[in-house]
Amino acid sequence: MKQYLDFTGKIVLVTGARSGIGQATAVAFAGQGANVIVSGRRPCDETLAQIAAEGGKGEFVKCDVSKEEDVKTLIDTIIEKYGRIDVAVNNAGCSSKKVPTAEQDMENYDRVNNTDARGLFMCMMYELRAMLPVGKGAIVNIASVAGLIADPNISPYVGAKHAVVGMTKAAGIEYAEKGIRINGICPGFVETEMTQQWSGNPEVRARVAGYNMQKRAADPSEIATVALFLGSDMASFMNGAMLPVEAGQTAH
């Protein structure tokens, strides 16, 4: 019987894998037998330690996704060693300064968009160039519930995540006939290092948790399992889809 979540021997790339969703996703794929390349601006030692502790295979390649040369080097390094990328999870991102739009500044706007939108686009572009000669592959883009609806005071982030949704849909339909599936996830509020700036405030935490029907934040592993699904053959008939994983936040 076919095991749909068996990634034994598969080459999986996870960007932004030092902590949070990226870390949980890298560990999840490694737990299913994949050779996982974890990348980030800083070393992903804890992620690699978790992978090793579960008997998985992982290695680190440094990459700042806002820099095209870094992205190109990352993909070239993987292809040179393994000859292919089977699954790529584009998770690297950053948050916005939390102030109204009139109080934002272009430095913050550029910082957020260079990573969350432009960086993801470059990753996807180079991943596709690597997958096309092989004729198959799966790309999973991590957006946000803010790519489907808007939250106040983080307009650069909302704009960037809306861009991720649009790019995922466009690329998803472009490459469906080429054997490459491109889909994405729109997580709600997740307990990560990046969200501690909000979750550390009990009032803000209660308000944000109240947006969804389970009245709680998600654990990163709850997003990682959806990434596993989208990277697997169980999602073989999905192209350009964005899955909201937010306990009903956008359903009411």
Sign of the four-CA dihedral 186, 70, 53, 35: positive
Contacts of 19 (CB under 8 A, 6+ apart): 46, 47, 192, 193
Using CB atoms within 10 Å of the CB of residue 1, give its burial: 0 to 12 exposed, 13 to 18 middle, 19+ buried.
exposed
Q: How far apart are CA 228 and CA 206, in angstroms?
A: 29
Q: How far apart are CA 233 and CA 244, in angstroms?
A: 20
Contacts of 175 (CB under 8 A, 6+ apart): 128, 132, 181, 182, 239
Q: How far apart are CA 68 and CA 38, in angstroms?
A: 17
Catalytically active residues are: 157
Q: What angle do CA 158, 159, 160 make, to 5 degrees?
A: 95
In contact, 34 and 7? CB cutoff 8 Å: yes
Q: How many CB atoms lie within 10 A of CB 163?
A: 18
Q: For residue 214, what are its two tokens? A: 């389970």
Q: How far apart are CA 76 and CA 79, in angstroms?
A: 5
Q: How far apart are CA 214 and CA 230, in angstroms?
A: 23
